[in-house]
Amino acid sequence: MTKLEPAAPTAVAGGRRAWLGLGVLLLPVLLVSMDISVLFLAMPTLTADLDPTASQQLWILDIYGFMLAGLLITMGNLGDRIGRRNILLVGAAIFGIASVFAAFAPTAPILIAARVLMGVGGATLLPSSLALISNLFPDARQRATAIGVWTAFFAGGSAVGPIIGGLLLHHFWWGSVFLINIPVLAILLIFGPILLPEHRSTALGPIDIPSVALSIGGILPLIYGVKHMAAEGFDIVSLVIAVIGVALLVVFVRRQRHLTEPLLDLTLFARPLFRVAIGACLVGMMSLAALSYLTSIYLQSVTGRDALAAALLGVPMAIAVFGCSMSGARLSLRLGVRATFTLALLLSAVGNLMLLGVGVDGGVGWYIAGSVTAGIGYGFSFTLVSDVAVSAVPPERAGSAVGISETSFELGNALGLALLGSVAALVFRSGGDFGETLGDTLLHSGGDNALIHAARESFVSGMHLATTIGAALLIVMAALAWRSARTVR
């Protein structure tokens, strides 16, 4: 039988101290999810300062998500062995140090390296924070409420990121979007040892290092190869890199089937409702990441608004995502899980399609209406993912299921930026003799109004195509959700 270290005496399960502990746990959740999108509004000013290439811009944005996606399951397993609170605090320290390096990065490569380190730290924060909720709240009803709040902060953080970034950029330089992490992490490091229990298993074997290497070594080459081909066109080098990634992932999956303690429990995917939850999470985050990133650039570089004005226009969507994340579980009790997932995915798709009304010379109203509609759908969908992922499996497998669901969140975000963002970039560059990015084109336009207008039109066309593809993926997932989970209410 697995032996567990007893909870720290300072943590009273389910009591007032437990709710204070939840408040502390929400801090890293908000930071990790916020730092996925906080750079969206900072990219125009960051581009002017560091002058990154188009490829470097995408790496600045998506390497953080790639590292999270590749390490979440590994760090969850590591926390079970060395202690969930221990790894939470270590991860917070790494995240804080990396944030300082990112804030004062003098070049794009150094910023990318800092984002890699932030991804490593962030990967320790998410699984340990959610796992500790089970220790704080042994009562099922309280635990469900706490997980709902956790999910709302996780889903809402991605939407709040651009708003906070815009407020900071209105008064400070782009590095301030990273320094905001420091006081928040200081609170976690001070109060975490007091309010949070420790939990570790003494019966688990060592982590399978080859599985860790194969998972990371498979994900990064695959995404890089696909992203490079989408952005730059087909070439044999990118194809070979992508094929290497696929081959490593195949070896990874085969290895998991033969391990007594696999890094990834593949038997979970035999459950239809679990597949629906993970698929909805993956596709939802792909489309949300592309929508948030592209509309942030649109509001600044196309409509001419500053970072603060652009951020304020994102407030309605942030409210919709956060509010509906809190109430998604209640809606599923009325409509059923299948109907709620289907409705949420379709609402998200409609919101993305409404962005077709956005143009160079107008359509901000379409942006607000579309982003709010999509936000409602995203909020309802994301709040169900953690609950469904856990309830679809036996209790002893809940930790593995949560690790997979968190990985799908991060991988979906990274894929959205890499694939849909690259599609938009490809359409933009095919529209004329422009620079690598819209920001670069505007910076070197020399006041050529015809060139500026043509570049903006080309960017909007790319945004339309990317968000339409995102909507199509959401519609397909809605159909699969209705069909696969039709026997579940």
- The string of pLDDT tens digits covering residues 205-248 is 677 788 888 888 887 787 777 767 655 666 788 789 889 988 99
Contacting residues for 395 by C-beta, under 8 A, at least 6 apart? none
**Domain membership flag for residue 411:** yes
Q: How far is residue 139's CA from residue 422's CA, in Å, rounded to a whole number?
A: 46
Instruction: For residue range 375-416, list pLDDT tens digits in order.
Output: 999 988 887 787 776 665 554 455 566 677 777 877 787 778
**Domain membership flag for residue 5:** no
Domain hosting 220: range is 208-262
% pLDDT > 90, the chain: 15
Last residue of a domain, one of 262, 287, 304: 262
60 & 173 share domain: yes
CA distances from 2 to 8, 332, 447 (A): 18, 35, 69
Pick from 282, 28, 281: nearest CA to 132: 28
375 & 276 share domain: yes
Backbone angles phi, psi at 360, to 5 degrees: -65, -40
48 & 81 share domain: yes
pLDDT computed for residue 6 by the predictor: 43
Residue 257's Cβ-count burial label (10 Å; 0-12, 13-18, 19+) is exposed
CA distances from 83 to 6, 13, 24, 197, 198 (A): 11, 18, 17, 10, 6
Apex CA 163: angle with CA 158 and CA 168, to 5°? Answer: 120
pLDDT computed for residue 485 by the predictor: 55
247 & 385 share domain: no
pLDDT computed for residue 489 by the predictor: 46
Pick from 109, 193, 92, 127: nearest CA to 409: 127
Pick from 154, 378, 159: nearest CA to 284: 378
The four Cα atoms 92, 97, 100, 102 give a dihedral, to 10 degrees, of: -90
The single-letter DSSP state of residue 359 is B
**Domain membership flag for residue 8:** no
SS3 393: coil
336 & 468 share domain: yes
Last residue of a domain, one of 217, 247, 262: 262
Low-confidence ranges of the chain (pLDDT < 50): 1-12, 395-396, 488-489
**Domain membership flag for residue 140:** yes
Last residue of a domain, one of 262, 278, 301: 262
**Domain membership flag for residue 288:** yes
pTM of the entire predicted model? 0.76
The single-letter DSSP state of residue 257 is T
218 & 344 share domain: no
Quote the number of domains for the chain: 2
Residue 52 near residue 306, CB atoms below 8 Å: no
pLDDT computed for residue 398 by the predictor: 54
478 & 371 share domain: yes
134 & 274 share domain: yes
pLDDT computed for residue 4 by the predictor: 45
**Domain membership flag for residue 86:** yes
119 & 233 share domain: no
**Domain membership flag for residue 489:** no
219 & 295 share domain: no
pLDDT computed for residue 340 by the predictor: 87
Residue 227 near residue 219, CB atoms below 8 Å: no
Beta bridge partners of 362: 359
272 & 244 share domain: no
**Domain membership flag for residue 73:** yes
274 & 258 share domain: no
CATH of residue 352: 1.20.1250.20
